[in-house]
Amino acid sequence: MKFPSLKFLLVAGLCLIPALSRASVDSNLTLELRYFMQQKLTSSGNSDYGQVKSVRLNAKQLLIFLAQDMKVKFPDGAILKIQTNDKVVVTDSAGNFLRDASNFFELDLTGQQRVFDGQRNRLTGQEASRNYFPITFKIKLSALQGTVKGIAIEDLKTTTPNGDGIQITTGQIETAVNGSGTVGAGKAYYDGSLYLKGRKATVK
């Protein structure tokens, strides 16, 4: 008897799992990055001397730079949010839409195939899984630009529909990221973490 090859089994298994092409739920974006850039570089005699500038960068600071580029003022508590349609938007603390920021930030999940660990019911939509896939976040601001990449780890849970057919989906992504870009006219390297967290209710 001829058994199917390991390659065939792997491809067949992956075909059963839907490709993850976007965020599973609208999610708040949190960043904890640092960028490193050359501050001083001098030579004296046979010796070279260098000093690196290290600066913390989070989502709140990105919103400050974004407001400057857009020439607007965001309210206290404004949030960067990734929508399931791939848009990056700014909302107030209550989740109300303020501005589309997709020209300045880009989160790339498109076309990536997740590595799936857990269980999903294709009939009811119930799911409890941990998924792994490449993720890329791009910053395109006047003050700083850069691209960071990593392997996202997504914890995704969808409940069974209740008596009214309502089910709740919660998703949380955490990943270490790094990359490079520019701050002003200088070369910068980025390192840190990216987090996405969201929740939605749907009627089955």
pLDDT tens-place string over residues 119-152: 999 988 899 999 998 999 999 999 999 999 999 9
Is 33 a domain residue? yes
Question: What's the domain range around 101?
Answer: 18-203
| 39: confidence class by pLDDT, cuts 50, 70, 90 | very high
Is 154 a domain residue? yes
| 15: confidence class by pLDDT, cuts 50, 70, 90 | very low
Domains: count for the chain: 1
Q: Let me know: does 129 contact 116? Beta carbons within 8 Å.
A: yes
Is 11 a domain residue? no
Is 9 a domain residue? no
Is 76 a domain residue? yes
Is 6 a domain residue? no
pTM: 0.82
pLDDT of residue 165: 87
pLDDT of residue 113: 73
Is 184 a domain residue? yes
What CA–CA distance (Å, rounded) separates 119 from 127?
6
